[in-house]
């Protein structure tokens, strides 16, 4: 059973790597497949990279126009606390039965 799950996860990872290699083309020509795979789940090892691509981080990263906004948002501790409260509230609604979030401030909250 574990072997089968590992093979399936590796196959998903290969699909995602292939897709990310030509992301712009895939986005333009196979958007429904991209959406389907995203809903099935982004592999853990690629999740950070994929969300950076989805959020178009490169557009904002080295752009002086956005630097001031970024600096303000990243240094605003009050905003962080407000955002964290919203996220914590949404976790219970989004993952009510997920094992990582069953206990308040359990493993999934780290």
pLDDT digits (tens, 9 = 90+) for 45-86: 898 899 889 988 888 777 888 878 877 777 766 667 777 777
Backbone angles phi, psi at 44, to 5 degrees: -50, -45
Q: What is the rounded CA–CA span in Å between residue 18 and residue 23?
A: 9
The pLDDT value recorded for residue 104 is 67
The pLDDT value recorded for residue 59 is 82
Nearest to 9, CA basis, from 46, 49, 54: 46
3-class DSSP state of 22: coil
pLDDT digits (tens, 9 = 90+) for 16-37: 999 999 999 989 999 999 999 9
């Amino acid at each position: 059973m574990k072997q089968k799950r590992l093979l399936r996860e590796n196959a998903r990872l290969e699909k995602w790597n292939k897709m990310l290699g030509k992301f712009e083309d895939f986005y333009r020509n196979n958007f429904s497949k991209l959406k389907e795979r995203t809903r099935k789940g982004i592999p853990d090892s690629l999740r950070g990279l994929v969300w950076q691509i989805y959020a178009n981080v490169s557009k904002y990263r080295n752009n002086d126009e956005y630097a001031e906004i970024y600096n303000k948002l990243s240094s605003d501790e009050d905003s962080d606390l407000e955002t964290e409260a919203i996220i914590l509230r949404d976790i219970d609604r989004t993952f009510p039965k997920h094992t990582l979030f069953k206990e308040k401030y359990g493993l999934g909250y780290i």
